[in-house]
Amino acid sequence: MVSNNSLILEASLQAFFFEQLASANDKSQLKLPKETIYYSSLVMDRFGHSHEYFEMVDGRVREKVLGMKLLESGHLSRREQERSLKDIGDTALFLCGFFSDSINERKLLDIKYYRDVGQMAYQRLDSFAPSFCDVNSFYKKLSGQFDILTNLMQIVQQTHLSGENSDDVFLILGKSFKAS
């Protein structure tokens, strides 16, 4: 565990997440490919910006309604569909991996709902973007690795960013911020 007075120095938030996910993956019995770890670190970096959790609808900021977005994505142009499916899958991945405890407290929608929506989005995305980092059927494989990956993300979150460590300060690119 990181003590309250410790600083983590990294070149970027993405590099920090990649290192932590890779370390957790090395200790796992079910190892994920490095491309999956890399992609996940990109997702975690993206959601380091709070505006990525929300969307603007009718001039108002609101939480993304992932199930509705998944249904509506079928009526979009090919390019918009690809972008929407990626956003849905990435959002669900991050929510399940980083905020699983708070999702389970909601009672109305549980972690299984978000997992299913995320997996469906990635499976559909595979037909639009059949490879990533030269890995064929990347998003289809990512869909199948969803649970393992969210477990790794939970380990990183619990090890470095939760509980009594929530006030730890991280220095990233010369800027400091407090983890929430």
pLDDT at 107: 58
Transcribe 161-175 into DSSP letters. Answer: SSGGGTT-EEEETTE
Query: What is residue 2's predicted lDDT score, i.e. its pLDDT?
Result: 45
| Tokens 């477990």 found at | 151
Q: What percent of the chain has pLDDT over 90?
A: 56
**DSSP strand pairing (131-132 vs 135-136):** antiparallel
* Per-residue confidence (pLDDT) for residue 122, from 0 to 100: 98
Q: How far is CA 173 from the centre of its chain?
A: 21
Closest by CA to 141, choosing from 69, 46, 34, is 34
What residues does each domain of the chain span? 7-178
In degrees rounded to 5, what are phi and psi of residue 33? -65, 155
User: What are the residue ranges in the chain where pLDDT is below 50?
Assistant: 1-4, 164-180
